[in-house]
């Protein structure tokens, strides 16, 4: 995963800051669908220039700009602050002269989240630029409130993004800011399994392109909920899934608010593994990967088709039963620290099959018919009124019933087979009357 993310991160910032001649029109956008917002639509969105490359940022307050951490690095080192120029209060750079209200600021210092590793990417892809002098707040320039710590956007909710990126993977900057209004929030596992502090988005009409990194992701309530970080695919075609840094994650949100030692987030780049029940009978086993951050672990077993959770807790084993027949079982390791949560699923799944089981009782013996592994031990239990009178576990399919029971009484005889391989656990019960003496 880390390698895939690194490629995406590099692409989203590696864009020449080319400005079309005056009078050029906005190309059909990618990140933004067809919309070029007016200068006042997103007064918190700014253009960041560093040498010959461009990025996007969000105004936290008059003196601080939030952007992506990977956009302040070059060759593993943080770029000098004086290399950056912040442009606020405009939605285009194609005019011969800056539009009225445009503000330009230099950067005094750069603060990077401690969890960010420029060599591997990973969690914490955020940085804050401290300006040399405050911005002047007006109708085209102003801060955006950040979502509360712990208030991540709900799955399925719709958010809007802004960015100054190019309009295709190999295209040139058209000099306009763009917006994409119909991005649907998806789970982090759709773009960054194993990483905390991330949610994913997808839009049928657009996707992130180089230069959009660091841009604001805004909720319907007008709160800054995320920062554009990376894309999964090599191109920026509509419908791609993009990765967003989640500002509601405690380790991210607390850092944005000034905590330079936020609690750790869990992280892994190794998958969980899922083994079916042994053919000798037992349960499926889900083995989680090694996690950083010393998280509390929960193992989740679920139906792949509808996502229904069939077991969640500390146990790493699950025995498929009758309700699982026909379903495909998957599992994931859920890791939680005070700083955030992450999940990693197993690639393997188990298609659960029925193993027909029946038991017939004669006067002195029981006959078991089982459609699973032929030598699988089956447990026979004789009970009356909820109290067990006799039991035996055996691989034999014809078993003598006990003689030391009260003659003439009715009992319940049950045969139970454990889960084995792809076969679900099964049970079959019949009524049995103990024979009278001499019969």
Active site amino acids: 70, 125, 213
Identify which of 1, 58, 387 has the alpha carbon closest to the alpha carbon of residue 216: 58
3-state helix vs strand vs coil in the chain, percent to 5? 5, 40, 50
Dist CA 346 CA 288 (whole Å): 8
Burial 81-104 (b: 16+ CB within 10 A, else e): beebbbbbbbbbbbeeeeeebbbe
Dist CA 218 CA 42 (whole Å): 10
DSSP class of 212:
-
Dist CA 216 CA 47 (whole Å): 11
Neighbours of 211 (CB within 10 A): 30
Helix or strand holding residue 8 (H, E): helix 2-13
Dist CA 320 CA 309 (whole Å): 12
Distances (CA, A) of 60 to 6, 128, 253, 259, 421: 26, 9, 12, 15, 55
Dist CA 194 CA 344 (whole Å): 5
Residue with tokens 């003689």: 403
Dist CA 252 CA 197 (whole Å): 7
Distances (CA, A) of 147 to 22, 218, 256: 38, 9, 11
Dist CA 115 CA 60 (whole Å): 20
Neighbours of 324 (CB within 10 A): 23
CB 193 within 8 A of CB 150: no
The torsion angles phi and psi of 141, rounded to 5 degrees, stand at -135, 125
Dist CA 269 CA 254 (whole Å): 25
Dist CA 245 CA 66 (whole Å): 11
């Amino acid at each position: 995963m880390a390698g895939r993310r690194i490629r995406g991160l590099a692409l989203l910032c590696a864009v020449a800051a080319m400005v079309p001649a005056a009078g050029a029109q906005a190309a059909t956008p990618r990140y933004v669908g067809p919309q070029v917002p007016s200068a006042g639509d997103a007064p918190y969105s700014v253009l960041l220039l560093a040498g010959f490359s461009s990025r996007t940022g969000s105004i936290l307050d008059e003196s601080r700009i939030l952007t992506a951490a990977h956009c302040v690095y070059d060759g593993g080192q943080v770029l000098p602050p004086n290399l950056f120029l912040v442009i606020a209060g405009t939605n285009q750079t194609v005019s011969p002269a800056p539009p009225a209200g445009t503000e330009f600021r230099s950067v005094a210092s750069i603060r990077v989240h401690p969890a960010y590793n420029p060599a591997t990417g990973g969690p914490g892809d955020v940085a804050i630029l401290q300006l040399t002098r405050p911005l002047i707040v007006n109708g085209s320039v102003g801060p955006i409130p950040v979502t509360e710590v712990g208030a991540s956007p709900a799955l399925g909710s719709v958010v809007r993004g802004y960015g100054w990126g190019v309009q295709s993977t190999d295209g040139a900057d058209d000099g306009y800011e763009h917006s994409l209004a119909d991005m649907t929030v998806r789970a982090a596992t759709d773009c960054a399994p194993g990483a905390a502090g991330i949610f994913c988005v997808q839009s049928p009409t657009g996707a992130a392109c180089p230069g959009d990194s660091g841009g604001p992701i805004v909720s319907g309530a007008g709160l800054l909920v995320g920062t554009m970080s990376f894309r999964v695919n090599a191109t920026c075609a509509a419908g791609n899934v993009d990765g967003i840094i989640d500002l509601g994650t405690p380790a991210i949100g607390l850092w944005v608010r000034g905590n330079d030692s936020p609690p750790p987030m869990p992280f892994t780049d190794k998958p969980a593994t899922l083994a079916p029940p042994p053919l000798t009978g037992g349960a499926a086993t889900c083995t989680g990967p090694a996690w950083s951050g010393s998280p509390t672990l929960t193992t989740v077993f679920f139906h792949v088709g509808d996502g229904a959770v069939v077991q969640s807790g500390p146990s790493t084993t699950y025995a498929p039963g009758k309700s699982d027949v026909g379903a495909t079982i998957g599992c994931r390791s859920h890791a939680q620290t005070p700083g955030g949560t992450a999940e990693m699923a197993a690639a393997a799944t188990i298609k659960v099959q029925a193993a027909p089981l029946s038991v017939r009782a004669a006067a002195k013996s029981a006959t078991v018919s089982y459609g699973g592994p032929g030598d699988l031990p089956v447990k026979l239990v004789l009970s009356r009124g909820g109290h067990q009178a006799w039991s035996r576990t055996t691989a034999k399919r014809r078993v003598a019933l006990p003689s030391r029971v009260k003659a003439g009484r009715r009992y319940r005889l049950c045969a139970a087979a454990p889960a084995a391989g792809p076969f679900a656990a099964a049970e079959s019960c019949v009524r049995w009357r103990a024979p009278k003496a001499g019969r």
